[in-house]
Amino acid sequence: MTPPRILDGKAVAAAVLDECRAEAAALSARGIIPGLAVVLVGEDPASQVYVGSKVRTCGELGFHSRKIELPAHTTQDELLEVVRALNADPAIHGILVQSPPPKHIDEEEIIRAIDPRKDVDGFHPENVAKLALEDPSGFVPCTPAGCMKLLEVSGIDTNGAEAVVIGRSMIVGKPMALLLVSKHSNATVTIAHSRSRDLASICRRADILVAAVGRPEMVKADWVKQGAVVIDVGINRVEDPSKKSGYRLTGDVDYAEVAPKCSAITPVPGGVGPMTIAMLMKNTLQAARQLG
């Protein structure tokens, strides 16, 4: 049996970041320094790691970055004031409020308050509409954009392919389906989820299976068609006393079981994760170009 191709997100992300670095230098020569503001409310450890990685990558690319850390008791109105100030700041081209915020924060209202021209996460309703309309002036959510870039760079043909996306969130599932069904990709797409009847049989139809449901190792070998391409978006912490950290990272796919059946598969970690940050940088550059 031929071993699967491992879709190396680290390598592809590094190439994307090299392109971003060159474009940032060209913009800087014109007096435009791409600026990204990341707002973190509370002290969630995973969010702190993600935010730190985004700020560090900005520095490596020559971007201007601002990290705004707010206490967990920050009110809705206080957070809205921070967003409005960033909307008005000409040095900031992209605004990201790290998700999830504390439970008392209405995240939907915060997303709608961000200037859609600075919404580099691609979650504002105006950018969602532009994605559905295939308007390239909008911002595509970073994780689905990263998945598509991986498929493209790896030479995986989506034209006419049957694709199944497990998950229906606005962060991954729905935008992923829109990208796959677009005129550029031409896949036939099914959106499935945890309440889909006979989810395993739906998944077995897929030439391209995207798992974005947030359940550790949910997708087993008998869910996957022989020769399928599997994109594992999940990143879950599972207790593991043998590890120094006390946990291990795993995806939504049981990699050891599923990989032998695949023609190509993403690892976790090192697959989709690095692509998400790379596409965030790409979106920030787009915002800087468009805002000038």
Non-local CB neighbours of 83 within 8 Å, separated by 6+ positions: 39, 95, 97, 110, 113, 114
Separation between Cα atoms, residue 256 and residue 259, nearest integer Å: 6
Six-digit token pair at 1?
């049996």
Which among 119, 121, 252, 254 is annotated as catalytic? Answer: 121
Separation between Cα atoms, residue 280 and residue 256, nearest integer Å: 30
Angle (nearest 5°) at CA 287 between 283 and 291? 175
CB 254 within 8 A of CB 217: yes
Angle (nearest 5°) at CA 166 between 207 and 220? 70
Non-local CB neighbours of 224 within 8 Å, separated by 6+ positions: 203, 204, 206, 209, 230, 258, 261, 262
Which among 10, 18, 48, 54 is annotated as catalytic? Answer: 54
Buried b or exposed e, range 53-84, using 16+ CB within 10 angstroms: ebbebbeebebbbbebebeeebeeeebeebbe
- 65-68 — which CB contacts under 8 Å span 24+ positions? 65/35, 65/36, 65/37, 65/38, 66/35, 66/36, 66/37, 66/38, 66/92, 67/37, 67/38, 67/40, 68/37, 68/38, 68/39, 68/40
Eight-state DSSP code of residue 116: G
Which among 8, 18, 76, 98 is annotated as catalytic? Answer: 98
Q: Does residue 98 have an active-site annotation?
A: yes
| Active-site residue list | 54, 98, 121
